[in-house]
Amino acid sequence: MEQTFIMIKPDGVQRGLVGEIISRFEKKGFILKGLRMVGVERSFAEKHYEDLSSKPFFTGLVEYIISGPVVAMVWEGKGVVATGRKIIGATNPAASEPGTIRGDFAVEIGRNVIHGSDAVESAKKEIALWFPDGVVDWQSSLH
């Protein structure tokens, strides 16, 4: 079954949005397979965002991600990568539709509350990076 990696960023944690975000994924019908609250090292944040290392915002992005704890999660379900991106909304909150997480809770692209894998292949890579010991093996009858 398809899985995606979702990270609630430091602003989302500090603003008390963890429960709201988890609730949206649960109510949609996706299954929570892994969850860790963690303060990440600079080198780890750089590894997670290595594809963006040439971007002018890379240093600021890394500073943002290491500014406080994040909540890293694995969610599972049919089409969860693409549907998860829809639940999250466009990267730039100014372009995110109301009803999406970023559309409802963010205004700045540099403080956009949440990350979600952009493709099945990147989800596999990100899950392996953040959950090297694997995830919880349980099945839901809703599957």
| Residues carrying an active site annotation | 115
Tell me how far, at minimum, the Cβ of 94 lies from ligand CMP, in Å: 11
The answer to whether 85 is annotated as binding is yes
The residue type found at 17 is L
Alpha carbons 95 and 136: distance in angstroms, whole number: 35
The answer to whether 9 is annotated as binding is yes
Q: Which residue is nearest to ligand CMP (CB)?
A: 115
Alpha carbon distances (Å) from 110 to 101, 107, 115: 15, 9, 12
Residue ranges in contact with ligand CMP by CB under 6 A:
52, 57, 61, 91, 109-110, 112, 115
Tell me how far, at minimum, the Cβ of 93 lies from ligand CMP, in Å: 10
Tell me how far, at minimum, the Cβ of 127 lies from ligand CMP, in Å: 15
The answer to whether 57 is annotated as binding is yes
Q: Which residues are annotated as a binding site for ATP?
A: 9, 57, 85, 91, 102, 112
Q: Which residues are annotated as a binding site?
A: 9, 57, 85, 91, 102, 112
